[in-house]
Structure 1
Amino acid sequence: MKRVIVMMLAALTTFGTGLQASDKYGSGKHFADSLKGNGSGVLNNFKPGEVIPGYTENPPESAHYGGVTSSSSASLESAGASALNNSEVGKLTSEVIMNRPKDPISMDAPFISGGFDVQDKADIVTNGTYDNCETVNVSKTEITSHVCERTPAAELTCTRKAGIKDNVVRKTVRKTYQKVVTLDYSTTNWKWNGALSIPEKGRLLHVAVDGERLIIPWNSNCNRESISEKCKASVRETISLMGRDFPVDVVVYPRRDTICTGGQNSHCTYPVRDGWGRIHQAFDTDMQVSAGQSFPVMKTSKTFEFLKNMASVQVTITLTLDVEVTEHKPSVEWVETCPFNKAEEVLQGSQCTEAGGNRTINIDGKTYTVYSDCWAWKDTYLKQEADNGSCDVYMKNPACTASRVNCQEKSGSACLQEEVTFSCEKKVTGEAQLCSGQLVCANGECDAIENGTSDGFGKAVSALAAVTAAAQDVAAMNDVNVRAFTGKPVECRMAIAGFNNCCKDSGWGQGIGLAHCDSEEKALGKAKEKLLTVYVGTYCSKKALGVCLQKKKAYCQFDSKLAQIVQAQGRKGQLGIGFGSGKHPDCRGITVEELQSLRFDRMDFSNFYSDLNAGTTIPSDSELAERVKEQVASALQQSAGKGQ
C-alpha cells in the first residue's frame, strides 16, 4: 500500500514538473516569437542623426569619393597637398621637418671623450689624499658658435593625375512616337473605349490619328441593300481625343442584304451588315506631358441598335514631342598638384608615372571607355644636389652640431638655401701641479683655461684688423658717402635641362661639366670657396609666355674675409639689415653710424684665422705667457747685475 502511494506521489510530482516546464517553454517561445523581424526593423528604422552627436549625411569629405568605379583619387590627393602647403598645421609640420637639424653622435666629440677620460682616471679622485706634488693635465671645453651657408638637396615636382569626368550634355530633341490604341466596346457607355499612354516626358507639339476599317454599327435606317439618304443621315462616327472630336469618313455604309437559295424571293434571308470607315486627322498642340500620362480615346456612334459583342477597333496615334535628353560624354580630366609657383621655376623634364591605355566608367548602368596616353605625370622643375658650401668644415667636425637652421630661400615647402648655426666644442688642455688636493698653476697654462681666454690673441688681432680695414675704407672716401666693406653684386645660372649648375658652392677646382659657365660664374665659384660671398636670393632671369626659362642666384661678393664677416654677422646678424632681393641685390657698404653700433667682440673671426696665419705665426696664449715670464726673469737679472 505504501509503495503504491509513493509511486502515485512520484507520478504527480513528475506531472507537476512537466506542467511547469511546459509553461516556461511556452513563455519563452512566445517571447521569441514576439522578437521575430525586430532585428531588421531596428536597422531599417535606425536614424543616426538622433543617436550620433554631430552626425551629417553629407560631410564635406564625401566630395572626394568618386564611387566604386572611380578610376583615381586625384581630388583627395590634391586636397591633401593643398592642406599640407597652405594650412597652419601643414606649414608647421613642413617647417619642423625642414628645420630639425641632424645630430650625429661621434665618439670623438669632446663631451664624450672627456667623459671617458674621467672614467679612465677615476683612481686619482678615489685614492684619497697625496702629500707630494704631481703633474696633471687639466682641460676645459669651449663652446663656439659659427654661421654658414649651404645648399640642401631639394626636388621641386608637380604631379598631374588624370581621372574620368562625366560631361553631361542636355539638349532638346524632337521625337516621333507611334502608339497603336485598341478600343473595346463597352455597354456601360455604349462606346468603344481605349487609353493613350504618353511614352516620354516632354513638350507635345503634334498629334495625328489614323485608322482603317473602323466599325460603323448597323441601324434600322439602313434596312435595304441600297443606301438611302435616311440611312446616310443616321450614320455619324467620331473619335474623341484630348477634348477634341474627329469625324470618321464612311467608306461602306451599314445595310441589310437579301440572300435567297430557292430562286428569286424563295427561301430568302435578310442579314444585316455593319459598315466601316477610316480616319486620318491631325492637330497641333503645345502642352507639357509626363511619361505614363494617360489620355482616354473613344469612338462614338450616332445611332446604334442591338450593339452586342461588337468587335474591337484600333487606331494609330502619332505623337511629336520635344524631349530634353541627357547625353554622357566622359572625358579625361587632369588635376594638377603643385606646391609652388611653377611660373617662377624652370621645367627640367616630365615622366609618366602611370602608363596609358583604356579605362572604363559605368554611368547609369552603361559602360564607357576612355583612352589616355598617360594617366599620371611627374613634372620636375628643380632637382638640386646637396652642397655643403661654407658649412662643410663644421659638418665634418664631430665636435660640431647644427643648433639652428634658417631657410633663406623657399619654393613651396622645399628649402633651396639654408643658413645654419653650428655649435662647436673645443677641448683646451694644459699642465698643472696637483699638491695635496690643491691645483697649482705653475706655467700659466691652466690660468688661460680657467679664465676662458684661449686663442684670445687671435680674436683680438682679428677684431683689430677689422677695425683697421674699416678705417682704411672710410679714409679713402669723401665725406658725402662714407661706407666701409662695400661689396659688389654677382650672379650665376642655375641648372636647366641639358646644362649643369653654374651656382655650385664647391668643386670649381676640377671644373668637370662646367665648361658652359662664363668667367664671372667661375670667379664667383672660387670666391664662394674662399668664403667671400653672402647669398642674397634667387630670381627668374628669362621668361617667355609666362613660363620661366632660366633662373639665377644672386650674391654679394666682398674683397676680403673680414669684409664678409662684418657684413654677414654685423650688418645682417646684429643690425638686421638685409642684402635686398635676388633680382635687386644691395651690397652697399656699412655706414659710420652702423659701424659704431657693431659689437666686434661678438663676431666669429675663425674663417679669418687662416689668412692671419698665412701672414705670420700667431702665438698661443701659453706661448705669450712663457714670453712674459722670460722677459720678467731677464729684467730681474739685469736689475741684480746693476745692484738694484
Structure 2
Amino acid sequence: MKKATRTLLQGLLLTCLSAGALAASMDASNQEGINAGRAADGTTSANPNSYFENYSADAPQRALYGDPTQTSTNIDVKGQTELSESDLGQTARESYVNNPADTLSYDSDMMKYSDEIRENANAITGVNGSQCVAQELNKTTYTTHRCEMANNLTQACTRKATIVTTGSRETYSTKLVLNAGSVTGKRMSDGWVQYDVTVPESGTVSSGTWELLYPRSSSWHGDRLDYSFQVMGKTVRTKINNSGTFSITSQQVEAGQVISMRIRYNTDGHYDEGREGMIQLITKGWIVLRITLPMEAVRDTVVPTLQWTSSCPADMGDAVKMSEVCSDPGGTRSVTVGGKAYSLYSDCWGYTTQWNIFEDDTNTCQAYINDPNCSEGTRTCTQKIGNLCVYSKLTYQCAHTVKSTGYICGSEFYCSDGSCSAMQAGQNQNFEAAVSQLAALAAAGKDFAGMDPNSVTAFTGKAMACRKSAAGFSNCCKSGGWGQDVGLAHCNTEEKEIGTGKEKKLVVKVGSYCSKKVLGVCLQKKEGYCVFDSKLARIVQEQGRRDQLGISFGSGESPDCRGIKVAELQGIKFDHIDFSDFYDDLNSNIKLPDQDALNQRITSDIRNSLKSGD
C-alpha cells in the first residue's frame, strides 16, 4: 500500500473514531438529562446558593418590593440616585463626559499618501525594472494649535411619590357588651321590647354570659312571673337576678353592625301593661339585661401618607432649574398592609425636573476638528463640576504637505521643478507665524510709544457680563446667531457687544456666577468676559499673560482685563503663541503687487544694472 493511501486511511479512521466518541458523549449527556427529569418527578427545589456567588435572600433591594398587590414603588428613583451618587454611576458619567471618542479621518493627506505609496511600491523601489520612473514627492510638516472647548452639563432629576404607612394592624382581646339600658327600646307586638345595639368595632365573638339583674335587691327573684329574652338566635327564659352561660358559635361582627335584643315580661296575657312597666324599669336602670361576649378585635393604627423621594444629589451647586413637568399622572393609588388596602390621591405621582448645571457654547477647536489633517494632541481640564469636566484646553497637531515632482532612477531621485531643495531643508517656513509675531510687537509698540513704561500697558480689554441659564429665557451669552436669532432681541447692548466679540474672536471667558438666587435655588446665571479691540490683543492676553505668565483674569463676577506691562511683555515667548486665529485677517489684508508692474520693474532694474556696468 502506498504511503499516501495509508495516510489517508489513517485520517479517515481517526475521524470516524472522533465522531463515534462525540456521538457516545452526546448519548450519555442525553441519557443523563432523561434520568434527571424522571428523578424530579414533577417537583424541583432549587438552591440559589449553588448557582450564585455571595447570594443573599435578604438583599437591600428587597425593600423595593412589597407583595403582589403593591402598586407604588420608587425603584426608578433609586436607579437614578445610584447613577448620580454611587461610585460606579459617577465613573460611568465621568467617562462619557470627560473622554470623547478618538476619531481617525481617511480623508487626511497622510492616509491618502500612505495609500499612494502602497499602490506605487514597485515603481518607488524599482522592482518593475524601469530605468527612470516619474514620481511625486511629498513633504509633511506639522504645526501645533491651541483652542478651548466647553461641554454643556444638564441633570434630569425625578421626584416620585410613594405611599408609606405608619402604625400597624394588631389583634387584641376585648369584650362586646350588649346592654339594653344603653339604647332606647322599641315597642313590638305581644309585649316584646326590642333594643338595637350598634357594634363599636370589628372582631370575632364567642360564647359568653348573660345577666338579668334587679340591682336594688340582688336576692329578690320576683313573683311567680318570669322574663324571656332573645339575642343572636338564642332564647332564654328566666326570673330576675339570674345569670348564665350564653353559648354561640364563634362569628365575625363588623363595626356599625346592629344586634337586636328582645325582652318580654310574661304576664299571663297582660302583655301591654307588663311591657310599659318593664320599659320604665330598664330606662331607669332598675332592671339590667346585659350580654357579655369575649371578642378578638383588630386594632388598626395604620396611617398612609405620601413620601417624596428625589434622585438628585443633595447639593446641586448653582444649577439653574429650567423646567418641571408631571411625568407620572395623578390619581388614586393603594397599598396593602396586613391584608387591608389603603388608598391615597395625589394630583401627580412623579415630577421630572431639568437642571442646567453648566451651559457654554465656547468651541474654538471646531476648525481643527473639521480638518482631516488635524488630530487632537493633549486635553487639559480647566474647570470641573464635581468630577465632571466642563471646560478644557486642547492642542491640535495639523499636517501640512508640500508636493514636488521628479524621477526615480535606480536609487536616486531627481527633482524636476527645483522645489525639492526647500523640502529637503526639513523646516516649515511659516511666513504667517513670523508676520503675526511682528504685528503683535508693532501693536504693543504703538501703546508704549512716548509713554512712561512703568505706568502704561498694552492690549487692555473691557470687563463685560451677559445673562444665561434662566427658565423661559434665551441665552444672551451665545457665541453665534446674533444676526438671525429673534430670541436674542431682548438682550441688552452689552450682551450684544459680547456676542459680536465672540463671533469675531475678540473675547476671553473669565467665569460664571449665580446672579439671582431664591431660597437657595439659583434662578439665573451670568458670565463674565474680557472683550478686546483686536484678535492680536486677545491672543497675546490669553496665551501670553494667562497661559505663560500665569496672571489671572480674575473671577466671572469681577473680571480683571488690565493691559500687559512692559516688563511682563518682555517675559512672553512670542514664538510659543499660536496666531492661527489671526491668519485670516492677515491674509485678507495682504496686497500682492501687480504682476505686470513687477515684471516691468525687474526688466528696468536689469537694464539699469547693465548700463552701469558699461
| 1: CA distance, partners of 2:121 / 2:519 | 74
Distance 2:111 2:48 in 1: 65
Residue pair 2:148, 2:363 contacting (<8 A) in 1 also = yes
Looking at CA atoms only, which structure, 1 or 2, has the larger radius of gyration? 1
- Checking the alignment, whether the CA contact within 8 Å between 1:492 and 1:502 is kept in structure 2 is yes
- Displacement of 1:342 after TM fit? 4.8
CA drift of 1:366 comes to: 0.5
- How far apart, CA to CA, are the structure 2 residues paired with 1:84 and 1:576? 37
Taking the aligned partners of 1:84 and 1:640, their CA distance within structure 2 comes to 88
2:123 corresponds to = 124
Distance 1:140 1:526 in 2: 40
If the length of structure 2 is used for normalisation, what is the TM-score?
Answer: 0.64
CA offsets per residue over residues 477-531 of structure 1, 9 Å max, x none?
6455564433222221225344322111122233433211111111111111111
- Tell me which moved more, 138-147 or 162-171: 162-171
Tell me how far apart the structure 2 counterparts of residues 404 and 67 of structure 1 sit (CA, whole Å): 55
**1:347 and 1:381 in contact (8 A); partners too:** yes
* Counterpart residue type for residue 71 of structure 1: T
Match of 2:83 in 1: 84
| Kept after mapping to 1: 8 A contact 2:477/2:495 | yes
By how many angstroms is 1:361 displaced? 0.9
How far has the Cα of 1:324 moved from its partner? 11
Q: Is the 8 A contact 2:463 2:530 kept in 1?
A: yes
Query: How do 1:409-420 residues align onto structure 2 when only pairs under 5 Å count?
Result: 417-420=391-394
- Matched to 2:98, the amino acid is N
Query: Structure 1 residues 639, 325: CA separation in 2 closer, same or farther (over 3 Å shift)?
Result: farther
Give the CA deviation at 1:166: 1.6
8 Å CA contact 1:101, 1:405 repeated in 2 = no
Task: Identify the residue that residue 390 of structure 1 maps to in structure 2.
Answer: 364
In structure 2, C-alpha distance between the alignment counterparts of 1:400 and 1:585, rounded to whole Å: 33
CA distance in 1, matches of 2:496, 2:112: 42
**Counterpart contact for 1:493–1:550, Cα < 8 Å:** yes
CA distance in 1, matches of 2:165, 2:535: 65
Write the distance in 2 (CA, Å) between the matches of 1:606 and 1:490. 25
Q: 1:344 aligns with which of 318, 339, 349?
A: 318
Give 1:412 shift.
6.2
Equivalent in 461, 465, 469 of residue 443 of structure 2:
469
Matched with 2:220 is 251
Tell me if structure 1 keeps the 8 A contact 2:125–2:411: no
Tell whether the 8 Å contact from 1:251 to 1:275 is kept in structure 2 after alignment.
Answer: no
- What is aligned with 1:261? none
Secondary structure of 1:513's match? helix
1:546 alignment partner, one of 520, 533, 547:
520
What secondary structure sits across from 1:398 in the alignment?
coil
Q: Which secondary structure state, in structure 2, belongs to the residue aligned with residue 348 of structure 1?
A: strand
Q: CA deviation at 1:154?
A: 4.8
Distance of aligned partners of 1:437 and 1:62 in 2 relative to their CA distance in 1, 3 Å threshold = same
* CA pair 52-389 structure 1, distance change in 2 beyond 3 A: closer
Partner Cα distance (1:418, 1:163) in 2? 42
The structural deviation recorded for 1:114 is 1.2
The one-letter code matched in structure 1 to 2:544 is: G
Residue identity opposite 1:535 in structure 2: K
Q: Which residue of 1 aligns with 2:301?
A: 327
Identity of aligned pairs, percent? 36
Residue 471 (structure 2) pairs with residue 506 (structure 1): no
Deviations 1:447-489 (A, max 9, x none): 4334443342222222233334344445576455564433222
2:332 to 358, 363, 366: 358
CA contact under 8 A between 2:510 and 2:554: conserved in structure 1?
A: yes
Check whether the contact 2:332–2:344 (CA below 8 A) recurs between aligned residues.
yes
Letter in 1 for 2:479: D
**1:565 matches 2:534:** no
Structure 2: segments with no counterpart, 5+ residues: 1-38, 180-199, 202-208, 225-237, 244-288
Asked if the contact 1:249–1:278 (Cα under 8 Å) also holds between the matched residues in 2, the reply is: no
2:437 and 2:424 map into 1 onto residues whose CA distance is 23
Query: Comparing 109-118 with 467-476, which one deviates more in the overlay?
Result: 467-476
Paired letter, 1:98: V
Which residue does the alignment assign to 1:401?
A: 375
Aligned pair in 2 of structure 1 residues 456, 144: CA closer, same or farther (>3 Å)?
A: closer
Query: Within 1, Cα distance between the matches of 2:406 and 2:381?
Result: 46
Partners of 2:221 and 2:241 within 8 A in 1:
yes
Residue aligning to 1:6: none
TM-fit CA distance, 1:150: 4.1
Aligned length: 483
**Deviation digits for residues 67-125 of structure 1 (CA, Å, limit 9, x no counterpart):** 44443542x44444444334444333322211333444444211221123224433421
Q: Show the counterpart of 1:602.
A: 576
SS at match of 1:582: coil
Match of 1:226 in 2: none
Read off the aligned partner of 1:336 and give its amino acid letter: S
What is the rounded CA distance, in whole Å, between the counterparts of 1:57 and 1:362 in structure 2?
Answer: 22
Distance 2:120 2:577 in 1: 37
Distance 2:148 2:585 in 1: 20
1:522 and 1:85 map into 2 onto residues whose CA distance is 37
**Residue 428 of structure 2: SS of its match in structure 1?**
coil
**Could you tell me how far 1:63 is from its partner in structure 2?**
3.9
Instruction: For 1:423 and 1:248, locate their aligned partners in 2 and report how far apart those are by CA, in whole Å.
Output: 117
d(CA) in 2 for partners of 1:334 and 1:589?
A: 54
AA partner of residue 71 (structure 2): S
Task: Quickly say closer, same or farther: Cα 1:176–1:460, change in 2 above 3 A.
Answer: same
Of 553-562 and 592-601, more deviation after overlay is shown by 592-601
Contact 1:163 1:333 in 2 (8 A): yes
Contact 2:544 2:572 in 1 (8 A): yes
Change in 2 beyond 3 A, CA 1:395/1:376: same
Distance 1:320 1:249, change over 3 A: farther
Relative to structure 2, which stretch is displaced further, 349-358 or 423-432? 423-432
Matches within 5 A, 1:201-220: 211-212=211-212
Report SS of the residue matched to 1:531.
Answer: coil
Q: Distance in 1 between matches of 2:436 and 2:610?
A: 37
1:458 aligns with 2:436: no
The residue correspondences of 1:483-632 to structure 2 (distance < 5 A) are: 483-592=457-566, 594-617=568-591
Give the CA deviation at 1:588. Answer: 3.6
- Paired with 1:324 and 1:573, the residues of 2 have a C-alpha distance of 77
Q: Distance in 2 between matches of 1:581 and 1:115?
A: 49
Shift in alpha-carbon separation, 1:147–1:179, aligned structure 2, 3 A: farther
Match of 2:138 in 1: 139
Q: In angstroms, what is the RMSD of aligned CA positions?
A: 5.0
1:71 matches 2:71: yes
With over 3 angstroms needed to count, the CA separation of the structure-2 counterparts of 1:87 and 1:545, relative to structure 1, is closer
Q: Tell me, which stretches of 5 or more residues in structure 1 are unaligned?
A: 1-35, 181-198, 201-208, 215-245, 256-273, 280-313
CA distance in 2, matches of 1:339, 1:424: 42
Conserved in 2, the CA contact under 8 Å of 1:159 and 1:337? Answer: yes
Given that 1:428 and 1:454 are in contact with CA atoms closer than 8 Å, whether structure 2 keeps it comes out as no
Q: Tell me how far apart the structure 2 counterparts of residues 450 and 72 of structure 1 sit (CA, whole Å).
A: 76
How far apart, CA to CA, are the structure 2 residues paired with 1:493 and 1:549? 11
Instruction: Identify if the C-alpha distance between structure 1 residues 130 and 388 changes in structure 2 by more than 3 Å, giving closer, same or farther.
Output: farther
In the alignment, structure 1 residue 111 sits paired with structure 2 residue 85: no
